[in-house]
Structure 1
Amino acid sequence: MLSGVFSKLGLPLGTKVYSRQFSLPASSVVIASIGNPSPQYDGTRHSVGHWVLDEVKEKYWKDFSRFSGASGVEIATSETNPNVLLAKSIKSYMNLQGKPISKFWQKHKKDARLVIVHDELQIPLGKVQIRRRNTSARGHNGLRSIDNSMGNDYTKIAIGIGKPAAKHDLVSDYVLSKFTKNEMDVLREVTIPRVAQILEEMSQGKHINERYEK
Structure 2
Amino acid sequence: MQLLKNALSFSAKEFCFVFFGYVLMFFLVQYVIYPVQEIIIPESTIFAALLFLPHGVRVVSIWLLRERAIIPLFLASLVIYRSFYWHAEPFYLNYFLILTGTFCAYIAILFFDFGKIDLSVQNLSISHWRSLILLGFVASVFNAIGNSVILASSIDLESQLRTLIHYLIGDTLGVVGFLVILLALLRIGRVLN
TM-score (norm 1): 0.29
More strand per residue? 1
More helix per residue? 2
